[in-house]
Structure 1
Amino acid sequence: MPNSSKISAAIFDIGNVLFTWHPRFLYERLIDDDRALAAFLDNVITHEWHFQHDAGRDFADTSAERIAEFPEHAELIAAWGPRFNESLGPPVPGMHEIVAELDSAGVPLFAITNFSHEFFPPFRREWPGLFDRFRDIVVSGEEKLLKPDAAIYHLALARFGLEPNEAIFIDDNAANVAGAEAVGIRSVLFTDAEALRRELAAAGLLAA
């Protein structure tokens, strides 16, 4: 494991680290019946289908394909793009405060997120006070590279001007954490803000 004394920067994931996220947050507003909602999320707006957007595909293409497969749900499928922000819930408790503390302490902040190139800009505009604290954000859909592929971590480090042992990476997905560790970045599997605060203190980025 890299020497924690060398760590000077923090790299964050966004979904379910800084903000809660689930397709249910949008569709429970549009589908009243719980069984119909569960079936829709299991079969139509699935994580696997949405992951195509994170990989760089356009919503116009993916939605047309899905509507052809499920024409009875055309209106609901079409809502995913323009109403995507509604699939993001409130901030994860305590996390925006940690970001603010790190920024105030002069710690360089970055992010690597699996996020659509179309959906991320309007979401970022809703939270300028948070995202303006980040020096750079690598968005998978823009790069057509996905975590946990080693290529996205190498690209991010080059863009951020960091060596692997100079950063700590925080993500809620174990595969993404393993991917970052494989390229030499000290990484934390995110569970909650208090546990992360302890990890950041151990890395020397926050006061114990």
Structure 2
Amino acid sequence: MVLFPVKTLRNVLALLTFSALLTSGVSALSFSTIAGLTVSAARAEAQTPKIGKSGLPLPRYVSLAKPKVNLRKGPGLRYPIEWVYRRDRLPVEIIAEFDTWRQIRDWEGTVGWVHRNMLRGRRTVMIKDGTQVLRAGPEDNAQPLLQAEAGVIGRLVDCEGAWCRVEIAGTSGWLRSRDFFGAATSEDVN
């Protein structure tokens, strides 16, 4: 059995369909209409939010629930451990679901599988690069409250446009979503 990546498989199927249509006497104009409808349907599907088996949207951000979490190559205990996270509350993004397993992506782009019991819905953020200033309001010129270095974890409260309210070390303030990992730009957290 030959396995193709999904993208390649779609191209092969499109080529076979085109060949079959041409040999059956369908004009190129008709085929372009059919192909256009297929592309339109694919775009509509891409814009529709995905819902996982859990009934929750995909992708979505969550945090690690334990101080030690194994990242596996596949969705099950039989798959090898690729990485061990040793940081409670670390934000991760769930990108797929299989039974009780969740495929996650971390701040570095590493992808693997963890059991759902190792995750919690509480939203956290992690400062990505350099030192970021937590501000009193959602503006670049708002009063600075504290400085947070790369790797600092805080609790995500809510977002308004490109700014999110975050609590770090008991202080609540605002950061731009581009300055941390744990929320999509302009995401509705509530």
Band the TM-score falls in, shorter-chain normalisation = under 0.3
TM, length-normalised to structure 2: 0.27
TM-score computed with the length of structure 1 as normaliser: 0.25
Q: Identify, as 1 or 2, the structure richer in helix.
A: 1
The one of the two structures with greater contact order (alpha-carbon pairs below 8 A, sep at least 6) is 1
Richer in strand (by share): 2
